Structure 1
């Protein structure tokens, strides 16, 4: 079968829209689970537009079409889409609602209720524009060579890594339902299934999930809607008698059985289809958060120790890579793909490693300014001497998930003073966030500005959040917390893991980002009048001294950096071979 060209795909979709009786259609990045990462069968936005970023949305009208994405992808979306077919819009500065208001008056816009949360549709509605759910997705009908749904097996995740039996988790979540007077909750997020049932899977490339849906009942019983062939006998035995595996086709019937019951829906995390069906079935819908979300974010002692262990191993791989890069980069023989592949090789040799936590962002020179750049054979470029190289990568280990970014100077010459100024300002912001102590009740958005202050002082900024939550052998991007002005106000709690990754980007020249993961811990403030929290840095890898201007650092910032590097040397040095250990001693020497 010959693949359709971009213009043919758009024409095929428009023909299907006409058959469905609508004039427009919304195509989100997410799949039926509303997550960031989707299997090939869920890559609808990429298939239609060519844009492969992890966040975005397209709207197709009879005579025009647009792709909306955030500041991380403004360069990438223009590079990957055909300007003759697609307008590119910044989703915050040029909202989709305003675009619809201007171009879709008196038109009916269709949407797939499986692919959108109900509040997301409400936020899109504009005066004079009509919206309607469609029973079948017209894009799927046009996508003739769409891949099959993934069918990897769900497997038990050992108690030594989870730290708590699934039965205990189910009992606690069910108790929360009973306390709220609710009979059941819809779980549409596969991360919740993984955490609640202590299972993992292989349905996604970088996040160990078994895709499915569930109903958790107030008696702690779970109806798990997943293809039975994905649940082998060992997993059935692990799940026990209180978990019933049912094919997804039984979901409508199962919801019909909730007639007259009070059912919790986490509206932002659940496809609109569920609330639509439950209302028709006669259930009473109550609004509330997925009861697994916050407990999942607050890592228990076993998960915290797993995070420490995973980062110690990952630090050894990073040290080997940074040593190798320092020797090879000045020769000019590396490429973005070969450098990322070498780091993956080092990680693959580590115990409990199960894959990358996301596709490595390996960007040299101007490619580093594309915040979520993904190198391909077509874009792969040589890493030249005397330029900036940005590597953002992570690993999925059975005991933890890692995510680290380092910005490196390729040498052999000295880095320009302006570049060192920018890198050091990013580092100052990183340190400001890593060292803050704050009262319980403070949320990520309250702290975001700390990481920007040094850049703001110079009239500079970066167009993405400062950090995101991270799972435990789950998603590298985990809610509900984040360091971002746009994030929800969710107080930080002990045991949460977040990234600290301020940056600066000069389009067409270079990108800078410095990222460690932080664990929320109690603060040691003996005279505090209320509970305070602080951060413990989990990531263990040196920052590139060639890009740091010590004169811009305060005494306290230098002390932090020197103490951090001393810790890196003490914890990582014994794990690596003498040539790397010698390089590490120099890289971690006091500034």
Structure 2
């Protein structure tokens, strides 16, 4: 009989921990590749706790347990995870390692799965536990898997080739670049375990993870330009093998650990932030010298070449037309009071499918009506589904995966009839002003994302307001919607990517927001491309942003009196561009709606 309640699952896990001789266990949202979005087989935290967010960790001891999430999920975790079973903890303010140390007790053995954590995390947790006489223990078998009776199996979907015309470079050229990097560092090989890095390096895509077109596999890249690709052989069609050629050796995924053992005496690069602890342990056991270096694919992948940039512009134009059709539909149907969060999300997806080019969504649509919009990473379900009430705010954050680009756009909409309250228009306009400020900023080469973050927050700060998430994340090309290494966010808290300088060709989101708990949420998000800028009389080299996303922003939520002449000019120029690109793709009432939505403010 399957365990239906999360209390029963927690009890079963505790019994299994006792069988395995450990006193506690740490459960992250993770897979063997440290992916943000993981396959259904790896959704161990969701199965155990009911938490549906994309980032979080649970710690389970014999008599207590805790759930650790960041500011994006403060509200969501309380809705989804039983507070009688788990304490709610916020990161980075609360440390999981410190909580374990404070609660484990002397002599306790706390288990962790070395295929789901970084070596750095394991070292820090082990040190914290050692200070109180407890021990961190790597388990050979994940105890969740022993009690998860209907655990799905990993996807068997076939990998496929990403057209070189869209990739802009051949896999051989990319592997040659990695080989030159290895030789310059006097290294023999590099372990590439991030799924999007593998996909980019080999110019392949897959369907093993929802929302991200990747194939479950690893690569060991060698200094001679060859590579070993560890993937289930049945997932590699003949045309993929033929395209990759003899320089890429296809080996069973199950041989990966043994292959690490074959690197005895070699100098091998592995990324301490992207490769799991088990990879480092296997290299150490083999007598290889594991050299901790950033994955050599990460930066080249982030800097889009001309083909990728052109692909993104085409994808954004196509996606923008789908979003415009949706916003027109919502303007008609929303005030009737019959639309709910699920039906709105379904309709938006249908408009994207109508393009004929949609391969998947790029993430689960955040469709938040009224108070649900204040949950930053809200995920609508049958249980939480709300009507879009007339006279309320609706937030929709969505995106699509197209062969030529990945999209991510947020629009906040006033569901009429009537005028939005002054407070809502004030907050939305402050968010808009921050969005415009960031979009129009020029900055010197060498500027990091953390140096720009305040620009988007300043008008909220003026009113004593803020938002508990980053302002911008990198975006892939028909790959991960959240891509590093670049990020625009506060520098404090050790957030990865905030010290990465922004380079021409990088794509990021520009998404300030404001959230009033229990009432409404506001976010305005466009994707931007970092590009060189010429400034008359300037000294040195400068950069700026090209806004890629094209869809109307709701006028009904704007207080025109709060906008400066320069901000009004940006609004009108942006919407003229939206009209120019989208109008040829629309007709009838949708076109008439677009003309009105894009008319000067």
Pair in the same fold by TM > 0.5 = yes
Deviation of 1:50 after TM superposition, in Å, equals 0.6
**Preserved CA contact (<8 Å) 1:329 1:385:** yes
Deviation of 1:14 after TM superposition, in Å, equals 1.1
Cα distance between partner residues in 2 of 1:424 and 1:4: 46
Say yes or no: does 1:371 pair with 2:371: no
Aligned pairs (5 A) from 1:293-372: 293-372=298-377
Cα deviation digits, residues 552-576 of structure 1 (max 9, x gap): 1111111111110111111111210
Deviation of 1:8 after TM superposition, in Å, equals 1.5
Cα distance between partner residues in 2 of 1:135 and 1:526: 62
**Preserved CA contact (<8 Å) 2:68 2:91:** yes
Residue among 535, 539, 559 paired with 2:545: 535
Residue matched to 1:55 = 55
- Where 1:92 maps in the other structure, the secondary structure is coil
Say yes or no: does 1:470 pair with 2:475: yes
Residue matched to 2:74 = 74
Residue matched to 1:210 = 215
Aligned pairs (5 A) from 1:98-247: 98-106=98-106, 107-125=108-126, 126=128, 127-128=131-132, 129-247=134-252
**Preserved CA contact (<8 Å) 2:156 2:208:** yes
Residue matched to 1:435 = 440
Cα distance between partner residues in 1 of 2:53 and 2:257: 33
**Preserved CA contact (<8 Å) 1:352 1:399:** no
Deviation of 1:134 after TM superposition, in Å, equals 1.0
Say yes or no: does 1:498 pair with 2:499: no
- Where 2:425 maps in the other structure, the secondary structure is helix
Say yes or no: does 1:479 pair with 2:484: yes
Residue matched to 2:385 = 380
Cα distance between partner residues in 2 of 1:322 and 1:25: 46
Deviation of 1:467 after TM superposition, in Å, equals 1.1
Deviation of 1:170 after TM superposition, in Å, equals 0.5
- Where 1:406 maps in the other structure, the secondary structure is strand
Cα distance between partner residues in 1 of 2:455 and 2:110: 42
Cα deviation digits, residues 411-438 of structure 1 (max 9, x gap): 1010000110000000011111111101
Deviation of 1:253 after TM superposition, in Å, equals 2.3
Which deviates more, 535-544 or 581-590?
581-590
Cα distance between partner residues in 1 of 2:255 and 2:272: 22
Deviation of 1:99 after TM superposition, in Å, equals 1.5
Say yes or no: does 1:571 pair with 2:581: yes
Cα deviation digits, residues 185-235 of structure 1 (max 9, x gap): 111111111100000001011111111111001111111111000111111
Cα distance between partner residues in 1 of 2:500 and 2:387: 43
Residue matched to 2:12 = 12
**Preserved CA contact (<8 Å) 1:120 1:268:** no
Residue among 449, 460, 464 paired with 2:465: 460
Which deviates more, 361-370 or 241-250?
241-250
Deviation of 1:538 after TM superposition, in Å, equals 0.3
Residue among 368, 392, 398 paired with 1:393: 398
- Where 2:413 maps in the other structure, the secondary structure is strand
- Where 1:267 maps in the other structure, the secondary structure is coil
Cα distance between partner residues in 1 of 2:525 and 2:247: 42
Cα deviation digits, residues 87-137 of structure 1 (max 9, x gap): 111122222123123212322211000000111223334231421111111
Cα distance between partner residues in 1 of 2:141 and 2:338: 51
Residue matched to 1:513 = 523
Say yes or no: does 1:264 pair with 2:269: yes
Deviation of 1:2 after TM superposition, in Å, equals 2.6
Cα distance between partner residues in 1 of 2:225 and 2:124: 34
**Preserved CA contact (<8 Å) 2:3 2:9:** no
Deviation of 1:526 after TM superposition, in Å, equals 3.1
Deviation of 1:34 after TM superposition, in Å, equals 0.3
Deviation of 1:476 after TM superposition, in Å, equals 0.5
Cα distance between partner residues in 1 of 2:261 and 2:407: 42
Cα distance between partner residues in 1 of 2:564 and 2:332: 31
Which deviates more, 6-15 or 305-314?
6-15
Cα deviation digits, residues 296-316 of structure 1 (max 9, x gap): 000000000000000000111
Cα deviation digits, residues 362-412 of structure 1 (max 9, x gap): 010000001111111121111110000000000100000000000000010
- Where 1:73 maps in the other structure, the secondary structure is helix
**Preserved CA contact (<8 Å) 1:444 1:487:** no
- Where 2:570 maps in the other structure, the secondary structure is helix
Cα distance between partner residues in 1 of 2:356 and 2:448: 35
**Preserved CA contact (<8 Å) 2:2 2:150:** no
Deviation of 1:54 after TM superposition, in Å, equals 0.1
Residue among 579, 588, 600 paired with 1:590: 600
Deviation of 1:28 after TM superposition, in Å, equals 0.6
Cα distance between partner residues in 2 of 1:351 and 1:430: 31
Residue matched to 1:545 = 555
Deviation of 1:19 after TM superposition, in Å, equals 1.8
**Preserved CA contact (<8 Å) 1:303 1:472:** yes
The answer for unaligned runs of 5 or more in structure 1 is none
